[in-house]
Amino acid sequence: MADKPVRSDKAAAVAELSDSFRNSPATVLTEYRGLTVSQMTALRRSLGQDTKYSVAKNTLAKRAATDAGIAGLEELFTGPTALAFVSGDPVEAAKGLRDFAKTYPALVIKGGVFECRAISADEVKKLADLESREVLLAKLAGAMKGNLSKAAALFQAPLAKAARAAAALRDKRQDEGGEG
């Protein structure tokens, strides 16, 4: 009878992890072997409120990923594994993990999930090299504003040219009418 609560606990843990995989736009798998408790706490704080960083048993995490419909992570579930479930900007979370790993090399980025697709550790690092969503949106807005200004000038040019031509024609007729 003692096995039943353990199994239900495991089932609940798998269900919770599956929900986290499904509801997170990105998840990063890391190995944390060699980090102290205080370093793990510092890592959690540095990731902020939009990223939940938790240690998981490989067998349960593997089953949860499969239940969530994510394939390609099986080989990453070796050694001590912690999962960073991102609910905010995946670029910011990837940068936070990359920067923390530079300071504490014991943190190893194994790979992850981005938009329901397994990605390699190199792809996580490429994601970290992107500019944040806010910066990209600001650049897009600036580019659109610049293009709108160019379009407005382009649309106004024929009108201005036509107005100048009409004024020149009027002036010519006045000159001809005044002299004749």
List the structure tokens of 11.
């089932």
**Cβ neighbours of 68 (radius 10 Å):** 21
Residue boundaries of the structural domains of the chain: 3-130, 131-180
Q: How many CA atoms lie within 13 A of 27 on its CB side?
A: 27
pLDDT for the residue 169: 81
Classify residue 163 as left (phi > 0), alpha (psi -120 to 50) or beta: alpha
CATH fold label, 3-130: Alpha-Beta Plaits (3.30.70)
Contact in structure between 88 and 51 (CB atoms under 8 Å): yes
Task: Give the tens place of pLDDT for each residue, 73-110.
Answer: 989 999 999 999 999 889 889 999 999 999 999 999 99
Distance, in Å, from the CA atom of 101 to the CA atom of 94, rounded to the nearest integer, reads 10
| Per-residue pLDDT tens over the stretch 41-75 | 999 999 988 999 999 999 999 999 999 999 989 89
Q: What is the pLDDT of residues 10-26, one digit of tens each?
A: 889 999 999 999 999 99
